[in-house]
A and B are shown apart, each in its own frame.
Chain A
């Protein structure tokens, strides 16, 4: 059974919706800039990848606004776009044949901070009746299923920044078990002071506040990453389901998936390469079949080195084009790997590899063929997407061209 992607809804600092995002990504448009959503004067980190121009009231009914965090609003709108793009109305599919599987990292954190403040500054009577579900990690799956009457399997996975692939892997599993379509992916946002404190102590954030110099994965000047918001939601269908409602745009096939973990057992190799190898095997492909790797691109020298070793070990030195369009959006936590997967699907669809920006001094010792500054126009038959989550999480997905 083959799993295909027929709809993509996304939001990122450099584009709302796949068309704008792809156009801006190919021209190397950097969406990272000063944080505007809260006063950063108390924090040393002052830049991020905020999604610009998103007015929730333009897209969502008024009753949804008081009960949703910003990230849930983004997710609901991205879901609408994914369904529209797929030409699919949820009423067209039997209600139990639709699964909803999303990734999360911190839930509706800004909403949570507001309610914590009400509780502690004003008292228990001032806390919103929506707090019980607006913060918790399961909120996006619940709200998406309600909005579209999707009553099939529901799930939420948390693997820090690898979750945006793990959700898609689990959605594919549900299709294999018999559901016809799934809404899946990750959208995340934690642009509030209380989250910023956590990001600052995480140890991974860049200390530069220059949007051109802060997030430089695989560069000699790599010094950490930048936090962003957004991500992507996909319509996954069985190939049979997509074929039955021809004409429909099939972006590509989710051909392989695997997840591994880095234990702390002494002497054990890191698991990222193994995840990539397992995803390739799952797709029944070899490294020579892969035309581009969308790297996790942590932007921290030790993690960059480990990833470079995994890639050059598997594909040979300079053996495959490698790119990190997230240099334009920042890292999006549960949303990041999903946005990379969207870029990989668009790359396969469009026959062009998007660039990595801002790298002026890439580390040659990494032996990576980085796609820098300009897009590389070439056929992309298959792409490998890599993601890692704090603590040892590794995930990989292989997407392929889909020919009927």
Chain B
């Protein structure tokens, strides 16, 4: 029998609230969590806004030692993992650990900690030969982000395949897609997947400043990210994590688990065009969408909702609008599309997984969270973007997409399980 990968538990750490419920409340209300940066003095930078997580590691159950040892991104992942584990109702200690894996997405790993340690060791950039005497003993764990997937693996006792998938801003879709492939091929029965990112540090902010990808609407940070709006002027960074328990369908069914949805199709394509630029025709993203839909055996008319990448940059929103039309034809005009980055910012590698969780909640609640801050539609973006207010609608199949630096274009089809095989 064909194996299928289904989602049975989720956990979220998002701007505006910790936990799945707080995250959904934010999305459903169409409330934006972007604000002036408080993590550090952002006054020297061009874009001084972000969607920050209000984080108290101790309150979230981490020990003082864990708080000191783990990068903020790893802390998010651990807390989201605990929620997802509880929600899935899986007793990991009773599973065969060799059949349990972990696939975690992250674009920039532990950059925040690396930058902090760099500042100390280099005396704020004074020395090229960084002083080795003032660094934390676990610096190497920041150096390579597989330390974070290991941390999650220890938490659930995983002994199957464990890894980080790091494909920039599509990491959070690609990690779940990778995990689904492993389950379908039979390598694992349960994979704890998802993604995490805590990139809000000066070096990340300046990366987007220098290529003018981020918004400069610093006087109005709460409405700064305006996907598909004529006045949009760039992305707003964010942070967060979403952890997703992916399970083989029969494994989940036998234990009577609640199934959110099946990962019915996934595909990634490279645009082979430019490391940061997008060709306006959206051809490669359309190709990824077509491949994911073919795998899921769905037609454009089966798709009830599209979760857009919607970063709020001029070129992205135009690019993916073209990709939707190219892949879905006239039907693209009939399908509601919305973008969560208007509310939770762009958390780079984590966003794809946070968006998946948002899509699952749309299935659960028959409610499509809106695109916030969309008041003046851009004539070039002429689809139904569900502006400002959430919309009640039966949702059985969802398409979610991502696009990122390096040219990565990814698409995933999530489908309610009762609908499967119809």
Q: Contact: A128 with B210, CB < 8 Å?
A: yes
Can you list 13 pairs linking A and B with CB atoms under 8 Å apart?
Answer: A119-B125, A124-B210, A127-B203, A127-B207, A132-B276, A138-B168, A155-B167, A156-B167, A158-B146, A159-B163, A262-B159, A265-B157, A393-B146
User: What are the residues of chain A within 8 A of B45 when measuring CB–CB?
Assistant: 124
Q: Contact: B158 with A157, CB < 8 Å?
A: no
Task: Pick from B109, B125, B163 the residue with the most CB of A within 10 Å.
Answer: B163
Q: Which of B218-275 contact A (CB under 8 A)?
A: 267-275
Chain A CB within 8 A of B107 CB = yes
Q: For the complex, give the distance between the alpha carbons of A95 and B295 in Å.
A: 19
User: What are the residues of chain A within 8 A of B46 when measuring CB–CB?
Assistant: 124
Chain A CB within 8 A of B165 CB = yes
Chain A CB within 8 A of B164 CB = yes
Given A142-B407, A159-B162, A262-B159, also A148-B146 (CB < 8 A): no
Q: Contact: B270 with A151, CB < 8 Å?
A: yes
Task: Pick from A95, A136, A393 the residue with the most CB of B within 10 Å.
Answer: A136
Q: For the complex, give the distance between the alpha carbons of A42 and B129 in Å.
A: 7
Q: Contact: A115 with B203, CB < 8 Å?
A: yes
Q: For the complex, give the distance between the alpha carbons of A139 and B404 in Å.
A: 11
Stretch at the interface among A195-203, A214-222, A367-375: A195-203
Chain B CB within 8 A of A146 CB = yes
Chain B residues near A (Cβ < 8 Å):
44-46, 93, 97-98, 101-102, 107-109, 115, 118-119, 121-122, 124-126, 128-132, 135-147, 149-150, 153-154, 157-168, 171, 174, 178, 181, 185, 202-203, 206-211, 213, 267-276, 284, 287, 404-408
Q: Contact: B132 with A141, CB < 8 Å?
A: no
Given A120-B125, A138-B405, also A261-B162 (CB < 8 A): yes
Given A120-B122, A194-B130, also A106-B144 (CB < 8 A): yes
Given A143-B275, A173-B185, also A159-B135 (CB < 8 A): no
Q: Contact: A139 with B125, CB < 8 Å?
A: no
Chain B CB within 8 A of A23 CB = no
Q: Contact: B115 with A201, CB < 8 Å?
A: no
Q: Contact: B185 with A151, CB < 8 Å?
A: no
Q: Which of A174-209 contact B (CB under 8 A)?
A: 177, 190, 193-203
Given A105-B144, A142-B405, A261-B161, also A148-B130 (CB < 8 A): no
- CB-CB contacts of A161-173 with B at 8 A, as 1s and 0s? 0010010001001
Given A131-B207, A146-B275, A154-B408, also A268-B146 (CB < 8 A): no
Q: For the complex, give the distance between the alpha carbons of A143 and B406 in Å.
A: 7
Chain B CB within 8 A of A38 CB = yes
Q: Which of A1-47 contact B (CB under 8 A)?
A: 38-39, 41-43
Q: Contact: B98 with A138, CB < 8 Å?
A: no
User: What are the residues of chain B within 8 A of A137 when measuring CB–CB?
Assistant: 107-109, 145, 166
B265 shortest CB reach to chain A, Å: 12
Q: Contact: B164 with A158, CB < 8 Å?
A: yes
Q: Which of A263-280 contact B (CB under 8 A)?
A: 263-265, 268, 271, 274
User: What are the residues of chain B within 8 A of A196 when measuring CB–CB?
Assistant: 130, 132
Q: Contact: B143 with A124, CB < 8 Å?
A: no
Stretch at the interface among A238-246, A323-331, A384-392: A384-392
Q: Contact: B108 with A136, CB < 8 Å?
A: yes
A170 shortest CB reach to chain B, Å: 7
Given A193-B129, A274-B98, A392-B153, also A201-B406 (CB < 8 A): no
Q: Contact: B269 with A158, CB < 8 Å?
A: no
Q: Contact: B125 with A146, CB < 8 Å?
A: no
Chain B CB within 8 A of A116 CB = yes
Chain B CB within 8 A of A145 CB = yes
Chain B CB within 8 A of A160 CB = yes
Q: For the complex, give the distance between the alpha carbons of A155 and B45 in Å.
A: 32
Closest B residue to A105 by beta carbon equals B144
Chain B CB within 8 A of A312 CB = no
Chain B CB within 8 A of A104 CB = yes
Q: Contact: B157 with A263, CB < 8 Å?
A: yes
Q: Contact: B159 with A260, CB < 8 Å?
A: yes
Q: Contact: A389 with B146, CB < 8 Å?
A: yes
Q: Contact: B167 with A170, CB < 8 Å?
A: no
Q: Contact: B97 with A268, CB < 8 Å?
A: yes
Chain B CB within 8 A of A118 CB = yes
Q: For the complex, give the distance between the alpha carbons of A137 and B164 in Å.
A: 10
User: What are the residues of chain A within 8 A of B149 when measuring CB–CB?
Assistant: 158-159
User: What are the residues of chain B within 8 A of A141 when measuring CB–CB?
Assistant: 167, 270, 406
Q: Contact: B145 with A158, CB < 8 Å?
A: yes
Chain B CB within 8 A of A113 CB = yes
Closest B residue to A146 by beta carbon equals B272
Q: For the complex, give the distance between the alpha carbons of A152 and B408 in Å.
A: 10
A159 shortest CB reach to chain B, Å: 5
Q: Contact: B143 with A142, CB < 8 Å?
A: no
Q: Contact: A132 with B211, CB < 8 Å?
A: yes
Q: For the complex, give the distance between the alpha carbons of A268 and B96 in Å.
A: 11
**8 Å CB contact of B273 from A131, A146, A199:** A146
User: What are the residues of chain A within 8 A of B211 when measuring CB–CB?
Assistant: 129, 132
User: What are the residues of chain B within 8 A of A346 when measuring CB–CB?
Assistant: none
Chain B CB within 8 A of A259 CB = yes
Q: Contact: B166 with A156, CB < 8 Å?
A: yes
User: What are the residues of chain A within 8 A of B147 when measuring CB–CB?
Assistant: 390-391
Chain B CB within 8 A of A247 CB = no
Q: For the complex, give the distance between the alpha carbons of A157 and B253 in Å.
A: 31
Given A119-B203, A127-B207, A159-B164, also A136-B107 (CB < 8 A): yes
Q: Contact: A271 with B406, CB < 8 Å?
A: no
A8 shortest CB reach to chain B, Å: 22
B66 shortest CB reach to chain A, Å: 14
Chain B CB within 8 A of A288 CB = no
B234 shortest CB reach to chain A, Å: 13
Chain B CB within 8 A of A117 CB = yes
Q: Contact: A38 with B129, CB < 8 Å?
A: yes
**8 Å CB contact of A263 from B154, B174, B210:** B154
Q: For the complex, give the distance between the alpha carbons of A392 and B159 in Å.
A: 9
Task: Pick from B126, B160, B274 the residue with the most CB of A within 10 Å.
Answer: B160
User: What are the residues of chain A within 8 A of B178 when measuring CB–CB?
Assistant: 155, 170
User: What are the residues of chain A within 8 A of B404 when measuring CB–CB?
Assistant: 138
Q: For the complex, give the distance between the alpha carbons of A61 and B132 in Å.
A: 36
Q: Contact: B408 with A138, CB < 8 Å?
A: yes
User: What are the residues of chain A within 8 A of B271 when measuring CB–CB?
Assistant: 145, 151
Given A119-B202, A173-B181, also A39-B408 (CB < 8 A): no
User: What are the residues of chain B within 8 A of A100 when measuring CB–CB?
Assistant: 270
Q: For the complex, give the distance between the alpha carbons of A141 and B409 in Å.
A: 13
Chain B CB within 8 A of A363 CB = no
**8 Å CB contact of A133 from B102, B115, B275:** B275
User: What are the residues of chain B within 8 A of A159 when measuring CB–CB?
Assistant: 146, 149, 162-164
Known: A38-B129, A142-B275, A261-B153. 16 other contacts (CB 8 A): A120-B122, A121-B125, A123-B44, A131-B207, A137-B108, A138-B405, A143-B406, A145-B270, A151-B270, A153-B267, A153-B270, A259-B161, A262-B159, A265-B157, A390-B147, A393-B162
